[in-house]
Amino acid sequence: MRTEVRYYQQPELDKPVMVCGLPGIGSVAWLAVNHLQKELKAELFADVYSPTFSPKVWLSEEGVVKLMKGEFHFWKNNDGGADLLLFTANEQPYSPEGQYELAEVVLDLAQKFGTSRVITMGGMATDRFTEEPKVYGGGTSEDLVKELESFGAVKLAGGAITGTNGLIFGLAKPKKIPAICLLAETPGYLSLDANAAKAALQLSSKMLKMSIDLTALDKQAKENAEAVQKAKDLSRGSFVRESRKGGGGELPYVS
């Protein structure tokens, strides 16, 4: 068994932008891409299964089995803007080699559909909560970084990005696909930081000249803010647990 994409349909897309969000710190990227998918009613067109995911399956509330997998959705933009390809998965591959392999498979699909730009996202842990998280941005070229700065991003100068989100971003470069990575500030202790996801999406939508309704993320963001406030009131100890509970506990399956 190899990491393999199975297609349900072959959408016709016009130089789409691919937005990638795998689980990671604060689930920022994962939340952002799932929000996009639901808000835009993007259509599932391919799955990716891999022996480099954890050797386990999930059961739905109805008792139906679900595999560890990645999913590709597409969205046709009828307003003249860019079509979208969305990629997410319910976890990152288990091994370093698996993370490289998945990144390659995702970028091969991006190339196949003539992707004009790849956007990956993530969280940047800051250890403090803010209602207005900054968004840091890096690119495969200085021009892209300047473009990001013009939309309000802070230049991501120096440092390393680990994991599959970073590899999809980086490996786009030798494949000559322009790519950017957006890291939204997130306190390390939130498991589902909707506020950070919102910040990353706001910047992305400006860049894509799209208007995306973000209200569905507000509910989660508000819960997080309340949990943090409550923790401050109570001060220490019970905080992390509260926050995790507020954040929704286990990362739900991609659906």
CB of 200 to a copy of itself, least distance (A): 16
> Can you read off the two tokens belonging to residue 209?
């000249």
**What is 3-53 written as a DSSP string?**
-EEEES-----SSPEEEEE-S-GGGHHHHHHHHHHHHTTPEEEEEEE-TTS
Instruction: Give the SS3 label for residue 124.
Output: strand
Nearer to a copy of itself, 59 or 216 (CB): 59
Taking the complex as a whole, the smallest distance from the CB of residue 227 to a copy of itself amounts, in Å, to 23
List all residues 6 or more positions away from 15 whose beta carbon is below 8 Å from its beta carbon. Answer: 82, 83, 114, 115, 116
The pairing of strands 84-89 and 17-21 is parallel
Select 160 or 215, whichever has its Cβ closest to a copy of itself. 160
> Could you list the residues that contact a copy of itself (CB under 8 A)?
1, 6, 47, 49, 51-67, 94-97, 99-101, 103-104, 137-142, 145, 148, 155-164, 166-167, 169-171, 173-174, 179, 181
Question: Cβ distance 182 to 122 under 8 Å?
Answer: yes
CB-nearer residue toward a copy of itself: 32 or 46:
46
Q: Are 142 and 193 in contact (CB under 8 A)?
A: no
Closest distance of CB 148 from a copy of itself, Å: 8
Q: Which is nearer to a copy of itself, 98 or 230 (CB)?
A: 98
In whole angstroms, the minimum distance from the beta carbon of 115 to a copy of itself comes to: 17
